[in-house]
């Protein structure tokens, strides 16, 4: 099984198509050093979410394309046992599905062994405490299609909570705070900054797909994607 030690990510001449004849990524190369916060920006449809899907292996690069690979700590993700990969890489997708079960179960799913204290901490950190207190059945309230319809921003916070609970070496956030108001977003960004910096002994590598500048101004690097390639990269100051 994979051993992710540091969490360095390398996209090596990545060429990828969902359907034949239409390249979404075209010889796309970049490196995300271990422990850094890196942002990916670019127009809608430029392949930002695709990058996270390849990292998490929702899709794979066609093996017929030679010298095209996604590497984590030097290992091709396609050679890695899927369970261990999914343990070590957390992704907050652009649109998060909730299960038709209680809020508690929706959170605990990310880490079945989580203690009540751990769950309660997370609830505070992602500012879901007020919502939960207002629900008649609190954390046991059923959410999802056949239960309480929670808002887009609340859903995003459940998704962030799940990803944080996993305590993975790598976290990908796909527009993960786009539905939050400025104030709540800032609180969540501060929380994330703390938790991503406090993994035992190591920083979490984080990849942020985001439109709003304030989510990424402090990134170590911003990668600008255009026409399937990296058009520019640098810090916010440099770009």
Residue 49 interacts with Mg ion (CB under 5 A)? yes
Stretch that binds Mg ion, among 61-69, 91-99, 102-110, 213-221 (CB under 5 A): 91-99
Residue 24 interacts with ligand ATP (CB under 6 A)? yes
Nearer to Mg ion by Cβ, of 94 and 141: the residue is 94
- The listed partner (ligand ATP, Mg ion, none) that binds 50, CB under 5 to 8 Å by sort, is ligand ATP
Structure tokens at 54: 């390849």
Nearer to ligand ATP by Cβ, of 10 and 48: the residue is 48
- Alpha helices (runs of H) in 182-223, residue ranges in sequence order: 182-196, 213-216
| β-bridge partners, 14 | 28
Task: Pick from 2, 35, 37, 47 the residue near ligand ATP by CB under 6 A.
Answer: 47
Window 96-135: residues binding ligand ATP (CB under 6 A): none
Structural contact between residues 41 and 223, judged by C-beta atoms closer than 8 angstroms:
yes
User: Roughly how many angstroms between the first and final C-alpha of the chain, as a whole number?
Assistant: 39
Sign of CA dihedral 50, 53, 58, 62: positive
Stretch that binds ligand ATP, among 7-15, 37-45, 68-76, 97-105 (CB under 6 A): 37-45
Give the DSSP per-residue string, 77-117. GGGS-HHHHHHHEEEE-SS----SEEHHHHHHTT-TT--HH
Stretch that binds Mg ion, among 12-20, 29-37, 90-98, 117-125 (CB under 5 A): 90-98
Closest Cα to residue 55, out of 18, 122, 8? 8
Structural contact between residues 3 and 12, judged by C-beta atoms closer than 8 angstroms:
no
Window 49-88: residues binding ligand ATP (CB under 6 A): 49-50
Distance CA 230, CA 30 (A): 7
Nearer to ligand ATP by Cβ, of 7 and 42: the residue is 42
Task: Pick from 37, 48, 155, 162 the residue near ligand ATP by CB under 6 A.
Answer: 48
> What is the closest distance, in whole angstroms, from the C-beta atom of residue 225 to ligand ATP in the complex?
7
Nearer to ligand ATP by Cβ, of 193 and 226: the residue is 226
- Can you give the binding site for ligand ATP, defined by CB under 6 A? 18-19, 24, 42, 44-50, 94
């Amino acid at each position: 099984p994979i051993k992710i030690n540091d969490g360095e990510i390398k996209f090596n001449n990545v060429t990828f198509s969902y359907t034949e004849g239409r390249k979404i990524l075209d010889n796309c190369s970049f490196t995300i050093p271990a422990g850094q916060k890196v942002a990916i920006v670019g127009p809608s449809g430029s392949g930002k979410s695709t990058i996270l899907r390849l990292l998490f292996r929702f899709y794979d690069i066609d093996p017929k394309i030679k010298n095209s690979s996604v590497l984590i700590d030097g290992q091709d993700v396609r050679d890695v046992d899927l369970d261990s990969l999914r343990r070590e890489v957390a992704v907050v997708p652009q649109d998060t599905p909730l299960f038709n079960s209680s809020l508690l179960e929706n959170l605990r799913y990310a880490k079945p062994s989580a203690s009540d204290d751990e769950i309660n901490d997370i609830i505070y950190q992602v500012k879901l405490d007020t919502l939960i207190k207002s629900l008649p059945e609190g954390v046991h309230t059923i959410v999802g299609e056949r239960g309480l319809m929670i808002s887009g921003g609340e859903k995003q916070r459940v998704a962030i909570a799940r990803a944080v609970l996993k305590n993975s070496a790598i976290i990908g956030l796909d527009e993960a705070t786009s539905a939050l108001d400025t104030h709540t977003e800032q609180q969540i960004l501060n929380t994330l900054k703390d938790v991503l910096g406090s993994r035992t002994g190591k920083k979490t590598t984080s990849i942020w797909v985001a439109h709003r500048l304030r989510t990424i101004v402090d990134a170590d690097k911003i990668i600008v994607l255009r026409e399937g390639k990296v058009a520019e990269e640098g810090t916010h100051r440099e770009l």
